[in-house]
Amino acid sequence: MNKPVYLDANASEPVRDSVISEMMKALQVTGNPSSVHAMGRRCYHMIEDARELIADHFGGDVQNCIFTSGGTEADILAIYGQKQGRSLWVGATEHPAISQIDLPKTVLPVTQEGIIDLEILEQKLKQEEMPPLVCLMLANSETGVLHPIEQAAKLCHEYGALLHVDAVQAAGRMPIHLGKLGADSLAISAHKMGGPKGVGALLLAAGNIRGAKPLDPVFVGGGQEQGRRGGTQALPVIVGMAEAVRVSYWQDRIPILAMRNTIETEAKKKGAIICGESAERLDNTSCIAFEGVAAQKQLMALDMAGFCVSTGSACSSGKVGKSPVLSAMGLEHLAGYSIRVSLPWNITIQEVDRFIEAYCRVIQS
């Protein structure tokens, strides 16, 4: 049996070879990074080297790069750590880590292209007495649509609001600079960049002159991460994350964009619709809807043909239903007929050609 063709990178990218190599080296290092003896100090310095690389890559301060167990924890830490009496506003197409958080929240509408409606955001900010904490994702995990974060940040700050950006899907696939975005915090995750699962980071905008920006911890413990996230740091995956950041930065993304465009061109010839097509999007992501063929049927048929795709966020794994993202975009009529094709860093044109043939057979059967 041929190995399945993996087209679900937005759920998790394949781990890069150099990441595995660096992690294997780190696994052989004994010691706790909080220990003061020589072996503990060695672990500590490896973590700090990784922190410096990651902070520098994303335009953050080393003191304000906090390691977490992944993107979900980074989002939760950003909300609980920065909310501090503020109301919570979230975009209508946010990841479940934010949209399903158990706190009162105001949902901000998006346009039919899936972009946050800046006019409504400004209207609401003008009417709010207490400036809120606003949460927007840089790139939508299902459609790849990019929010105009720089403009949103300017609006938020004009009215005293804070802006947290979930950059999990975008990190490693496009240039990101915390200062240029204007965000107050940024969540990233290693396994969406070809790194290991189980590690991410929250980056905070520059704090006061003494360095660390105030943040209420969710996990208290032994004072790790400057007291903002307790628990012994996981050295091997942190090292792996830094390597994934380093390698992804240098990857040529033009071939991936060309292959995505080929898939969309051929799908549209058969009558498919690309959701969010007119918006600026990630180069690897296509949300393809074909009315009349249920998403579940497409998913199962493609799986049997040897192609791994999905219908949306992997954090709803095991569930194949109507897409809340498309519903929020006013595309309710397409919400039960769409699949997500997200190309991994190691995709080949031969695999893309085989997928196009299989997809056309499925929707015409």
Tell me if 278 sits within 8 A of 304, measured CB to CB. Answer: no
* Helix, strand or coil, per DSSP, at residue 147: coil
3-state secondary structure 231-281: CCCCHHHHHHHHHHHHHHHHCCCHHHHHHHHHHHHHHHHCCCEECCCCCCE
C-alpha–C-alpha distance, residues 320 and 336, integer Å: 9
Which position among 43, 287, 315, 360 bears the catalytic label? 315
Secondary element (H or E) of residue 285: strand 285-289
Cβ-Cβ contacts under 8 Å for 288 (sequence gap 6 or more):
263, 264, 267, 272, 273, 274, 275, 338, 339, 340, 341, 359
C-alpha–C-alpha distance, residues 177 and 183, integer Å: 9
C-alpha–C-alpha distance, residues 33 and 43, integer Å: 5
C-alpha–C-alpha distance, residues 313 and 348, integer Å: 24
315 is catalytic: yes
Secondary element (H or E) of residue 185: strand 185-189
**Residue positions annotated with a catalytic role:** 315
